């Protein structure tokens, strides 16, 4: 049941992210999209890996570190250095580093930590 819920959340968040990418401007595109993307990554991983990881904080931390790595690859110019010209890939990977994006990832991962903690306290379902 938990996998189904996370799967539905993943699809919903993916749809929201696509709509943000296509139609949103201003703070919604600049900040809300970055907050939601780490939650999307979390729900996707939780759909695939529904069982408990030994410590409740490990999975959100891994996702946060992954997000930081992708952001710092943007600072390094990853797309340009590897000649990535496909517009879709450039949007997914990103091409511009921002400390504000790092802050948005930190805000977005909070509900993921909370989810992991609360799942740990609830009944054991996989």
Domain range annotation of the chain = 2-121
**What are the C-alpha distances in Å from 25 to residues 17, 22, 33, 68, 126?**
12, 9, 10, 23, 39
Q: What is the pLDDT of residues 37-66, one digit of tens each?
A: 999 999 999 999 988 888 999 999 999 999
Q: Does the pLDDT value for residue 125 go beyond 70?
A: no
* pTM for the whole structure: 0.89
pLDDT band at 92 (very low <50, low <70, confident <90, very high): confident
| Whether residue 124 has pLDDT greater than 90 | no
């Amino acid at each position: 049941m938990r996998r189904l819920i996370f799967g539905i959340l993943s699809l919903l968040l993916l749809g929201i992210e696509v709509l943000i990418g296509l139609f949103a401007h201003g703070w919604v595109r600049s900040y809300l999209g970055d907050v939601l993307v780490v939650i999307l990554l979390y729900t996707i991983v939780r759909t695939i890996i529904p069982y408990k990881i030994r410590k409740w904080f490990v999975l959100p931390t891994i996702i946060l570190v992954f997000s930081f790595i992708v952001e710092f690859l943007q600072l390094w110019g990853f797309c340009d250095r590897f000649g990535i010209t496909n517009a879709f890939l450039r949007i997914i990977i990103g091409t511009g580093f921002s400390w504000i994006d790092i802050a948005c990832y930190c805000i977005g991962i909070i509900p993921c930590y909370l989810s992991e903690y609360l799942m740990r306290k609830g009944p054991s379902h996989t």
